[in-house]
Amino acid sequence: MARRPVILGVAGGSGSGKSTVAQVWRAAGVPVVSADELSRRAVEPGTPGLHAVLEAFDEQLLTADGELDRPRLGELVFSDAEALKRLESILHPIIWQLRDQWLADRTAEGAPLVVSEIPLLFEVDRQGDFDRVVLVDAPDDERLRRLVELRGVSSDDARRMMAAQMDPVAKRAKSDFVISNDGAPDELHAAAVEVLRQLRDGLNEEATMRIDLHLHTEGSWDCLSDPEAVLERALAKGLGRIAITDHNQLHVALRMAEAHPDRIIPGEEVKTAEGIDVIGLYLSEQIPKGTPARETIERIRDQGGIPYLPHPYAGGKGGEGRLADTLAPLCDIVEVFNARLHKPRQNQLAEQLAARHGRLMGAGSDAHTLGELGRAYAVVPPHPNRPEALLAALEGGQIVGTASSHLVHLASTWAKVRSRWWR
């Protein structure tokens, strides 16, 4: 399997100069794809995307050449929030599917670095899909001038366009690089070249490994994901190793670990007698559901495994911290970022818990769907797939995480219904 390239996202408000930066990198030999390009492909004549748009809006939105009249469509949705949401619900899945295929093609070609130009990257909360994010920013008055003078947008429309986008200050805090386009064109060009140099230099540095320490497959009754598809998607997202931690089941994890010994950590998420979840990593024997928490941890250690405390402050499965200070000292790793927790405070308290008891910090997507993979992981030095090696690697590890959509819980609910009626 070809090595996945480093994926760079370029964002910026209207008139910021992000397309110019992308052009500089394209000229330097870096594969670049733009959201605008993909959106045009999504509605090409004869495509399901075009058919869906015409059906949802107006069959008369075709030009004499049989193409979508994009300016007219823009007029329909620009001042109608509900219409815009309807259009986005049609096009965004198609655009991201096209982008994934483009990435697969570049991966097959062996590209070390690729760029996606996505103006509203932060607004759609997809920054977690990228290894690095570059923000191109410019003063508001300069952006307004460019939109009016260079693109022919009316002053009122330009102001409404800018007002609808996220505050640049918030974007800066979420970006790995910021290019300030507040000078002459040659200064912007030089800044783009310098960022590209830093990125390419980074490719030559000592490699790191990303590990998702907590995720699920069809071995869990609330998940329908095929384990091989999980691994394939995880690798495509840049994860080097994953821990399969199905609920009260170990058979899928063991099978996958045997087939992919360097990629899979076999684990189990045990629902203890207290109702608190405890994960065992590197297990060889399943631990029964309903085993008391202390005994669960002892049985993990008896197998030579690693006790891992997931989401200690979550409601229900974590007991809202009820036993956090009791169980944390007994475990080697505390999960300080779980991508399925949507209250930041829950992860913050977990990080404080790990620090308070001197425990190693871990992270997991807790993925129950393929789309959640890559949302949270630990970045560690490469190491053999053994318990003691993982613990040593986590000593100098870094935790990365972005919360998943609230909608992922609907997928889990559907999986539970399927499991109840079809298994």
Among the ranges given (14-23, 215-224, 322-331), the one the predictor scored with the smallest mean pLDDT:
14-23
Predicted confidence band of residue 419 (pLDDT cuts 50, 70, 90) = low
Would you identify the CATH topology of the domain 209-422? TIM Barrel (3.20.20)
Instruction: Read off the pLDDT of each residue in 293-316 and give the average, rounded to a whole number.
Output: 97
Instruction: Read off the pLDDT of each residue in 368-372 and give the average, rounded to a whole number.
Output: 92
Q: Which of 19, 86, 22, 26 is nearest to 52 (CA)?
A: 86
- Return the higher-pLDDT residue of 151 and 412: 151
Hey, how many other C-beta atoms are within 10 angstroms of the C-beta on 399? 18
- Tell me the domain boundaries of the chain: 6-203, 209-422
Most confidently modeled of 198-202, 364-368, 381-385?
A: 364-368
pLDDT at site 1: 42
pLDDT at site 423: 47
Predicted confidence band of residue 205 (pLDDT cuts 50, 70, 90) = low
| CA dist., res. 162 & res. 42, Å (int) | 25
Instruction: Read off the pLDDT of each residue in 143-161 and give the average, rounded to a whole number.
Output: 81
The residue assigned the tokens 């002892």 is 298
DSSP-derived pairing of the beta strands 177-180 and 209-215 = unpaired
Predicted confidence band of residue 207 (pLDDT cuts 50, 70, 90) = low
Q: Contact at 8 Å (CB) between 297 and 307?
A: yes
Residue type at 332 in one-letter notation: D
pLDDT digits (tens, 9 = 90+) for 118-131: 888 888 888 878 88
209, 250, 256 from 267: Cα distances, Å: 19, 6, 11
Backbone φ and ψ of 301, nearest 5°:
-65, -35
Instruction: Read off the pLDDT of each residue in 395-404 and give the average, rounded to a whole number.
Output: 89
Q: Cβ contacts of residue 260 below 8 Å, gap of 6+?
A: 231
Q: Which of 111, 116, 93, 87 is nearest to 10 (CA)?
A: 116
How many Cα neighbours within 13 Å face the side chain of 142?
13
How would CATH label the architecture of 6-203?
Answer: 3-Layer(aba) Sandwich (3.40)
Q: Is the pTM of this model over 0.85?
A: no
pLDDT at site 414: 40
18, 19, 20, 166 from 15: Cα distances, Å: 8, 9, 10, 14
- The per-residue pLDDT of the chain, averaged, comes to 88
